[in-house]
């Protein structure tokens, strides 16, 4: 069995170490695609995705006929996304560029800017959050839409110190080759900064259930509470149109895992 504990090799950009593993771990993930497709339709495009990873959302939108530009801080993620676009014959609809969502200038004129799959939470300072939202507004045409999703903070879960010492099971992910991936997690919550330092332990099993590799991936996410985000949006040039507790437009409740946001660039 291969043990991969090289979390951030020197010379790599943030999330470069995820590039070869990301699509395997999130092979199950499709429940948010319909929401972002509906926002692309409402805005009529084109679409700018900030924090695009390997292109999961952007390629789905491109396949539906929208022109999409994807930006990610990881050049290796971008290389994966461009390779997938070429393989799928979507290179004319989807382009992927390495850059920082805080200040990347994609030329403006977009109908929709989106931060799917909690990519907004990768910014750990309020100043960076403000700059990213202001940059999103600058990239939108007048009346353009902003869509994003964030974790709904669960203080009982985040504050459970047992999760720092004892890994907890997150999910099993079946693989196309008949194998399986088992994902475990650990959390260290800092209530002062609202930053959760997470570790994922990813174990790859072959078709016979034998462990062939184990990977450790560390990353930090800043949690933003509902009304804090509402103020951030207003201060950054947006008018909030809706906040949902799931991707089907459900009400925000104490049981909500996600906060799903739609805002419009303020005239």
Dihedral-angle region of residue 195 (phi above 0 means left; psi in -120 to 50 means alpha; beta otherwise):
beta
What pLDDT was estimated at residue 7?
Answer: 47
| 34 CB neighbour count, 10 Å cutoff | 12
What pLDDT was estimated at residue 2?
Answer: 58
Q: Which CATH architecture has domain 31-152+224-265?
A: 3-Layer(aba) Sandwich (3.40)
What pLDDT was estimated at residue 11?
Answer: 60
Q: Outline which parts of the chain fall under CATH 3.40.50.150.
A: 31-152+224-265
Residue pair 65/240 in contact (Cβ under 8 Å)? The answer is no
Of 236, 30, 234, 259, the C-alpha closest to 150 is 259
- Maximum pairwise Cα distance, the chain: 59
CA-to-CA distance for 264 and 148, rounded, in angstroms?
12
pTM: 0.93
Block means of pLDDT (10 residues each) for the chain, 267 residues, are: 55 88 95 98 97 98 98 98 98 98 97 98 97 98 98 86 89 92 95 95 93 95 97 98 98 96 95
CA-to-CA distance for 260 and 267, rounded, in angstroms?
22
């Amino acid at each position: 069995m291969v043990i991969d504990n090289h979390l951030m090799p020197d010379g790599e950009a943030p999330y470069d170490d995820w590039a070869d593993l990301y699509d395997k771990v999130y092979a199950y993930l499709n429940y948010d695609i319909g929401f972002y497709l509906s926002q692309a339709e409402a805005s009529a495009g084109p679409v700018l995705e900030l924090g695009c990873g390997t292109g999961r959302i952007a390629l789905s939108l491109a396949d539906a006929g929208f022109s999409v530009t994807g930006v990610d801080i990881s050049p290796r993620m971008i290389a994966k996304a461009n390779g997938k676009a070429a393989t799928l014959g979507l290179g004319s609809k989807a382009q992927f560029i390495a850059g920082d969502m805080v200040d990347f200038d994609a030329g403006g004129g977009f109908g929709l800017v989106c931060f799917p799959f909690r990519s907004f939470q990768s910014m750990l300072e309020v100043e960076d959050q403000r700059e990213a939202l202001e940059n999103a507004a600058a990239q939108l045409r007048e009346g353009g839409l902003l869509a994003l999703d964030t974790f709904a903070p669960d203080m009982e879960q985040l504050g459970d110190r047992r999760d720092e010492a004892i890994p907890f099971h997150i999910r099993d992910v079946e693989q196309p080759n008949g194998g399986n991936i088992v994902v475990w997690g650990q959390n260290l919550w800092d209530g002062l900064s609202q930053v959760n330092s997470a570790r994922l332990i990813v174990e790859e099993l072959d078709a016979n259930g034998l462990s062939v590799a184990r990977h450790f991936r560390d990353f930090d996410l800043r949690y933003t509470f509902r009304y804090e985000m509402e103020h951030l949006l207003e201060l950054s040039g947006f008018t909030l149109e809706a906040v949902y507790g799931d991707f089907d437009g459900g009400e925000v409740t104490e049981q909500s895992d996600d906060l799903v946001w739609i805002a419009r660039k303020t005239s």
